Chains A and B, each alone.
Chain A
């Protein structure tokens, strides 16, 4: 595997000489390269540039100043909030990894039972909007009236419950329960590509099962785990929903909550920009760290030879692994949705469970009676679907260019650009989008396109991380073969890379599609009367006290997502290795 580096060196040398010998003509791949770069400029550089400029200008006079930065960071409370946010994101990342990796391994590499149940439920956790997940957990673990606490008190006779969701631990717990699917999807995808030959070799050489996992299997998928972890970290730093519901009552100040203060009157959007811009450094830092960890080692696991993939027989232990996975989906989906079901199927959820209180009216209202609700749901799915296609196509192009080192040192910059939008909180990013694209000359005000662009930019980092991990695992020899046989780079991509990475690309598509359907902070800035999306409708319902309809909508989303996931995986069929095995 270490040979890859040398191989790529000879290859680029060959490309250099070969390229100059041939008569130059605009290669399709070059066109794509330029288009991808232009897209990144339009999607990221321009809006981010607008934010940067704003952060350096006086709000009233427009004069250049560092005053906004001073104003933003000259406060002990805000500095502390920044620290708390980093602590919060780190804790969530660690917990999410502990949640995701064992289950991913169980599903991808072992004969664990119940996979068909666990996998869709994990993606169900993913679709759950943070607002709904948090309320579900308040109903479960609220210190006074939480179900779990009530049961605990009834069983043990204790005077008070054991869980309080309004704490730092509670906040981390809930966030990780809805964030871990990022790492799960990345890791399962990578694990499913690794052939079991190396594991078998380790076993033959006498390594124990655990030793094999930690020395062979997991190291091979480090880029995927790391990629997922970075996404979780950045996403948590910029998260608003869960902290707004759980951190505020717990008197915990995180950065996104502080940011909202700048949007109260007197409006200080420039200061908000100044407060958010340094977060980009976090992205740069994580990127550097990632490069250090991955080093120059190769993680090629997908070769042309197919390889075999045997599922590890766990014996009785497979029930332990299943138990852990089931515990996780119970915590993330089954229990909270049971609590929410009480609202979704009730006329009045505060009345508690009774037969006379049961109704389907909340679903009927959403799906049949309210025409705007239907439109809104349709908008969300079409915009998010379009977003996922655009983001994955762009991300694959950039990841390919970067990983195959087609643009030399510029690759690092391209990659960094792709990762930036995630860490900047949505509310700030949205201002950049709106001011870049709403007015002329772009003039996308009120269109569906502006939402698709906004979502694409916002979630490009996820698509990119996912594609990068996938391309990294792909042995370049196969594309080499195409090119040696006279095919162009474009042909190599469309006939070799895309088919081989089919399941990874579906995974990446879902990783963008799902958060796009629940995205609120950028959406609320970009919607118009005719382009409303579910998240904005949920905000309405929650402000309106229509919790029954809100819970019903949550259920509907869960059902549809599970359906989409199941269909998606069915359509692409089983992956390359499995078919052979």
Chain B
């Protein structure tokens, strides 16, 4: 394994050349001609760090139904693994994934800086909610999933009124030994949360949390299990997981914090030098379209488009105040936040 990025740079040259022709193609803007070219490619490979394999497969099937003759090979792992695999593929000189999706926007920023993404303006992107449409002002990557965090609580132990109404309520001593959340060291969404709350309340907020002996898990989703079992009563929770779990009858619900519900966008992009650039463009357009968002909503995830209704039990993001740290904030503040986290919570 050569982890040096030399051969990435070699790939870069090829990618840059491809980029120029791709631009011209996109400007022609004709999805039909892209589809004709994509049919010759026959398939598109998707490395996804979000959703799960079943949902990814559903999306792939829906895509193939809309565009017969093109199959989707979706491999869902984790964002770290998907990114590491992508870099290894580039090292090995054979790019396997046409489409790359990650919960960590830093991955996209890294690839963009090295010109390893193919620019494409999907016509469907116009339907994405305005706040997310320009996730990347240059239009090299597009939102593919939203990590939405609110205050989850166990409804068999607490009423909505008793549960915290805002993030700042979490520092109330009455929640001693009753709170849970993930760790920014292991979870990008939790990392965004710590950055957002540091901006709101300063680091003291987390020192106060630590005094309450919270249960610190690894991922954004770890809180669901301990909240459901009643081991802990309140915490940062993924609203999609809460809605999904509650729909079966489990005693879970969320309060949308008054100072803002955490919304962390994840992105999807086309990898330069991939084998099926045309199929990849079609797929990216599809991911910005209504069918994709409908599949998200069916699976209790927040849709990316205004014309797709949010799933049952989840408020539309246009009805709640949202909290999204900028990529720049995350890149400048997160490393420091992580080391403070290690100090405070060790």
B-binding residues in A (CB < 8 A): 50-51, 53-54, 57-63, 77, 135, 138-139, 142-146, 166, 244-245, 248-249, 251, 253, 260-261, 263-267, 269-270, 273, 347-351, 357, 370, 372, 431-432, 434-436, 438-440, 445-446, 524-525, 527-530, 532, 536-537, 539-548
Q: Mark B132-157, 1 if CB is under 8 A from A, else 0.
A: 00000000000000000000001010
Check B221 against A525 for contact (C-beta < 8 Å): no
Q: Which residues of A contact B216 (CB under 8 A)?
A: 248-249, 251
Check A264 against B186 for contact (C-beta < 8 Å): yes
Among the stretches B22-30, B33-41, B90-98, B287-295, the one at the interface with A is B90-98
Given contacts A269-B84, A445-B94, 6 further A-B contacts (CB under 8 A): A143-B177, A438-B89, A524-B78, A525-B85, A530-B73, A545-B244
Check B106 against A62 for contact (C-beta < 8 Å): no
> Provided the pairs A446-B96, A529-B74, A540-B53 are in contact, do residues A351 and B251 lie with their beta carbons within 8 angstroms?
yes
CA distance A528 to B226 in the complex (A): 31
Picked from A50, A263, A351, A357, the residue with its CB within 8 Å of the CB of B1 is A50
Q: List 11 A-B contacts (CB under 8 A).
A: A143-B231, A244-B186, A347-B248, A372-B57, A431-B1, A525-B81, A527-B77, A540-B54, A543-B219, A545-B221, A545-B242
- Nearest to B232 among chain A residues (CB) is A144
B315 interfacial by beta-carbon distance below 8 Å: no
Check A138 against B226 for contact (C-beta < 8 Å): yes
> Provided the pairs A54-B3, A524-B78 are in contact, do residues A351 and B54 lie with their beta carbons within 8 angstroms?
no
Q: Which residues of B contact A145 (CB under 8 A)?
A: 229-231
* B111 nearest CB across to chain A (Å): 11
* A576 nearest CB across to chain B (Å): 46
CA distance A543 to B218 in the complex (A): 11
- Nearest to A543 among chain B residues (CB) is B221
Check B231 against A261 for contact (C-beta < 8 Å): no
CA distance A57 to B345 in the complex (A): 33
> Provided the pairs A265-B110, A525-B81, A530-B73 are in contact, do residues A53 and B2 lie with their beta carbons within 8 angstroms?
yes
Q: Which residues of A contact B217 (CB under 8 A)?
A: 245, 248-249
B75 interfacial by beta-carbon distance below 8 Å: yes
> Provided the pairs A53-B2, A144-B177, A145-B230 are in contact, do residues A263 and B74 lie with their beta carbons within 8 angstroms?
no
Q: Which residues of A contact B218 (CB under 8 A)?
A: 244-245, 248
* A417 nearest CB across to chain B (Å): 19
Q: Which residues of B contact A263 (CB under 8 A)?
A: 80-81, 84
Q: Mark B212-242, 1 if CB is under 8 A from A, else 0.
A: 0001111101101110111110000010011
Check B84 against A431 for contact (C-beta < 8 Å): yes
Q: Which residues of B contact A542 (CB under 8 A)?
A: 221, 225
Q: Which residues of B contact A546 (CB under 8 A)?
A: 244
* A77 nearest CB across to chain B (Å): 7
B21 interfacial by beta-carbon distance below 8 Å: no
Q: Which residues of B contact A270 (CB under 8 A)?
A: 3
Q: Which residues of A contact B238 (CB under 8 A)?
A: 545
Check B4 against A432 for contact (C-beta < 8 Å): no
Q: Which residues of B contact A435 (CB under 8 A)?
A: 1-2, 88, 91-92
Count of B interface residues, CB-CB < 8 Å: 70
Check A265 against B183 for contact (C-beta < 8 Å): no
Q: Which residues of A contact B224 (CB under 8 A)?
A: 545, 547
B167 interfacial by beta-carbon distance below 8 Å: no
Q: Which residues of A contact B225 (CB under 8 A)?
A: 135, 138, 542, 545, 547
Q: Which residues of A contact B244 (CB under 8 A)?
A: 544-546
The 5 A-B residue pairs with the shortest CB-CB distance in the complex, in nearest-first order: A439-B92, A62-B4, A348-B249, A435-B1, A350-B250
Check A529 against B75 for contact (C-beta < 8 Å): yes
Check A350 against B89 for contact (C-beta < 8 Å): no
Picked from A53, A139, A347, the residue with its CB within 8 Å of the CB of B229 is A139
Q: Which residues of A contact B85 (CB under 8 A)?
A: 434, 525
Check B226 against A350 for contact (C-beta < 8 Å): no
* A540 nearest CB across to chain B (Å): 4
Q: Which residues of A contact B215 (CB under 8 A)?
A: 166, 249
Check B185 against A357 for contact (C-beta < 8 Å): no
Check A349 against B231 for contact (C-beta < 8 Å): no
CA distance A62 to B9 in the complex (A): 12
- Nearest to A240 among chain B residues (CB) is B218
* A71 nearest CB across to chain B (Å): 13
B175 interfacial by beta-carbon distance below 8 Å: no
- Nearest to A370 among chain B residues (CB) is B54
Residue among B57, B75, B156 with max Cβ neighbours from chain A (10 Å): B75
> Provided the pairs A248-B217, A540-B53 are in contact, do residues A545 and B241 lie with their beta carbons within 8 angstroms?
yes
Check B75 against A372 for contact (C-beta < 8 Å): no
Residue among B92, B96, B221, B242 with max Cβ neighbours from chain A (10 Å): B92
Q: Which residues of A contact B219 (CB under 8 A)?
A: 543
Check B84 against A267 for contact (C-beta < 8 Å): yes
Residue among A135, A143, A431, A530 with max Cβ neighbours from chain B (10 Å): A431
Q: Which residues of B contact A370 (CB under 8 A)?
A: 54
- Nearest to A144 among chain B residues (CB) is B231
Picked from B94, B156, B346, the residue with its CB within 8 Å of the CB of A253 is B346
Picked from A260, A524, A544, the residue with its CB within 8 Å of the CB of B241 is A544
Q: Which residues of A contact B345 (CB under 8 A)?
A: 251
Check B231 against A138 for contact (C-beta < 8 Å): yes
- Nearest to B222 among chain A residues (CB) is A245
- Nearest to A80 among chain B residues (CB) is B346
Q: Which residues of B contact A529 (CB under 8 A)?
A: 45, 57, 73-75
Picked from A57, A438, A536, A547, the residue with its CB within 8 Å of the CB of B3 is A57
* A280 nearest CB across to chain B (Å): 16
CA distance A544 to B218 in the complex (A): 14
CA distance A52 to B118 in the complex (A): 34
Q: Which residues of A contact B248 (CB under 8 A)?
A: 347-348, 548
Q: Which residues of B contact A446 (CB under 8 A)?
A: 73, 96
